[in-house]
Amino acid sequence: MSHVSYEQSKKNVVKGLILLAVVTLIEVIISLFGKGHIFKGVHGNVIVLAICGLLITAFSLYKAYFIVYEFMHMKYEVKGLAMSVLLPTLLLVWAIIAFFQEGNAWKNRREDVQKRNAQPITPAQEGSLLSPDTYQIDWKG
């Protein structure tokens, strides 16, 4: 770690906190703009929501980078140690993407099950191999 005086360290921490506060304030303003609280006409616009989402993601990633490198002192560490800490975060990002995909698959499957449950249920026909207490769903999916 670099050798800095106590006063210089305090100044660096205050600068970092001010930077994080400003970036967070910008994120809040972008979010309010994207949801239509600042200008009423942009609420349903998909392009505006996408741009706002990308900006908020970029600012959040910058804040995470700054916190890890400055407050967790990763910029002062050996590169191998820093990578051994930072690279597993890619697994976390992958897990989040995978959970969103899985959740979407469950949502689509749920709609399919609801369609099947809405179909009329009829008793099994005479002469079939099914017992008379078995019901069939006529599914034309």
72-103: pLDDT as tens digits: 888 778 888 878 877 888 888 889 999 999 98
Q: Once rounded to an integer, what is the mean pLDDT over residues 111-127?
A: 73
pLDDT of res. 30: 94
Compute and round to an integer the Cα radius of gyration of the chain.
27
16 confidence band (pLDDT: 50, 70, 90): very high
Task: Look at 136 and 17; give whichever has higher pLDDT.
Answer: 17
Task: Kindly tell me if the per-residue pLDDT of 54 is higher than 90.
Answer: yes
Does the global pTM surpass 0.85?
no
Distances (CA, A) of 109 to 65, 87, 113, 139: 37, 34, 6, 15
Residue 127 Rama label (left phi>0; alpha psi -120 to 50; beta): left
Task: Look at 21 and 80; give whichever has higher pLDDT.
Answer: 21
Residue-averaged pLDDT of the chain: 83
106 confidence band (pLDDT: 50, 70, 90): confident
C-alpha to C-alpha distance for 1 and 88, rounded to whole angstroms: 23
What are the residues whose beta carbons fall under 8 Å from the beta carbon of 42, sequence distance 6 or more?
33, 34, 36, 48
- Residue 56 token pair: 């908020």
The answer to whether 75 and 16 are in contact (CB under 8 A) is no
Query: Residues 69-101, buried b or exposed e (16+ Cβ, 10 A)?
Result: ebeeebeeeeeeebeeeeeeeeeeeeeeeeeee
27 confidence band (pLDDT: 50, 70, 90): very high
Other C-beta atoms within 10 Å of 34: how many?
20
